[in-house]
Chains A and B, each alone.
Chain A
Amino acid sequence: MATVREMTPGSQDLATFQTVVQQQEAIFGPLQGIGGEGMNNIMTFVIGPSPDAARATILVTYTGHPPAKDGFQLVAIGTCLVSGAPVQVAAYRPTP
């Protein structure tokens, strides 16, 4: 399964970071992983059919364990930079 990694600045707020993830999913395919590296965030995508807009990934910050969300499945978690600060971020996708 081919994957590709892309990088986006860690200075972005969570909404912008989420938009970047969704826009890149539209090009490459579903998000597989997220994490911080240096001053940036790294996103890993699986090359394949892109999710519909209605099933695009959303990002949520959390502490402790990522919460379960009704109607969503957890896709990935990682320590990312949001507005320049390291936080725990969970990526969810709406279930069909």
Chain B
Amino acid sequence: MSAHGARSIILVSGMAVLSGCVGVDTAVMFTTDNLGVNISPTPTPTAEIGFSRQEGVIAPALENGAVIPGAASVYHSVPTFLPLATESGAVFAGGQAAAQLLTEPGGTAGDAKACISRAPTDSSGHPVITSGKARPMFFGTTTSIGFRISIPNPSGDVPFPNVHLGYKRNEAAIAPVSGKPDGCADDAAGNKYAVYVPSFLAVIRNTAGQQPGAGVQGNVNGSFNVGQVFATGIAATEAARLPAIGESFRIAAGQTAQGATGTNLQVVTVVPKQLNDRQRRAAEVVKALDQAKTDRLAALLGIPQGPGAQIEILKAIAAVTTTTQFEPLAARIKAVSGEDV
């Protein structure tokens, strides 16, 4: 394991110790991702050139192998070895938001829970998961795109500078696990006890030196665009329903045209006329927005801001296939434009 991975585990484990018992009543999930040049003397001397990524989960394994949901994805599209000329995206989610990401576009995920027969206990028979008790949750990300050099402290722990060029991101969540005695009343196997983790979601998507979403063929300008979404609870679950966020996840999973062909083509097909009429109206409103409002709307949709934002928003409109999927999009368009669509 590289120093990055080791450091992250130390970091999240240290915090987890403060908040609960890792792997029993607390789930830890983390990723570290580097693309470019990374020279880091601490805690273990590391020199990386290229792509590296560590992912990990420490969570309770319940009876019959049941575990709580979590999902993470990343993609990089690098036309040349030029760290700033990449198109990148990462999705990191847990709980209901993770379940929603794995649902077909326009669909609604079922309850993200693990159903077991009774409350889990430790070797002494004491319950290890409690309900009705507030416990802290930690969820955070750090991102660096570009060039970063830390100032060394010759007399301290960091005698040499950390140097990074390219894309680097860390994501971590320490989430308390909760239980509900009658949360699985409809479970086909008859298991009644439900185990949950909170819903959380972090998404980043950036394009640099190319039109957003244009993939490696679209190097048309010198812009740098980045969009980030960070949410917990119902906000995370609703954000996971947004077409652009689902698309980011599916790109990394190779389930979209971009992942398959590198040309970032969206597959579209016939939708009901009533929905297409609303799509037309939404597109008219979006096309009439000035750049500032377009950027505001892009931010709400998790789409990189900038000159290509309008096209990406229109593509998000085109990707909608059901009225249910359209409603959150319509609400955000109204929030920015004041127009009903």
Contacts and interface: CB of A to CB of B under 8 A. Distances in A.
Interface string B303-329: 000000011001101100000000000
A26 B276 contact: yes
Nearest to A26: B280
A7 B257 contact: yes
B189 interface: no
B311 A2 contact: yes
B281 to A, nearest CB: 9
A84 B146 CA distance: 46
Interface string A22-63: 011011100000000010101000011110000000000000
Contacts, number: 65
A2 B263 CA distance: 16
A26 B341 CA distance: 14
A2 B221 CA distance: 13
Name the prevailing secondary structure of the A interface residues: mixed
A9 interface: yes
Contact of B268 (A6, A47, A50): A6
B284 A50 contact: yes
Contacts of B109: none
Contacts of A6: 265-268, 315, 318
Contacts of A5: 263, 265
A74 interface: no
Of A20, A23, A42, A48, most buried by chain B (CB within 10 Å of CB) is: A23
Interface in B264-295: 265-271, 276-277, 279-280, 283-284, 287
Contacts of B283: 26-28, 50
Nearest to B318: A27
A26 B279 contact: yes
A24 B269 contact: no
Closest 4 CB pairs of A and B: A26-B280, A7-B265, A27-B283, A23-B276
17 contacts: A2-B310, A4-B314, A6-B315, A7-B267, A8-B267, A9-B269, A23-B270, A23-B271, A23-B279, A26-B277, A26-B280, A27-B276, A27-B279, A27-B283, A38-B261, A47-B314, A50-B284
Interface of A: 2, 4-9, 12, 16, 19-20, 23-24, 26-28, 38, 40, 42, 47-50
Interface of B: 257, 261, 263, 265-271, 276-277, 279-280, 283-284, 287, 310-311, 314-315, 317-318
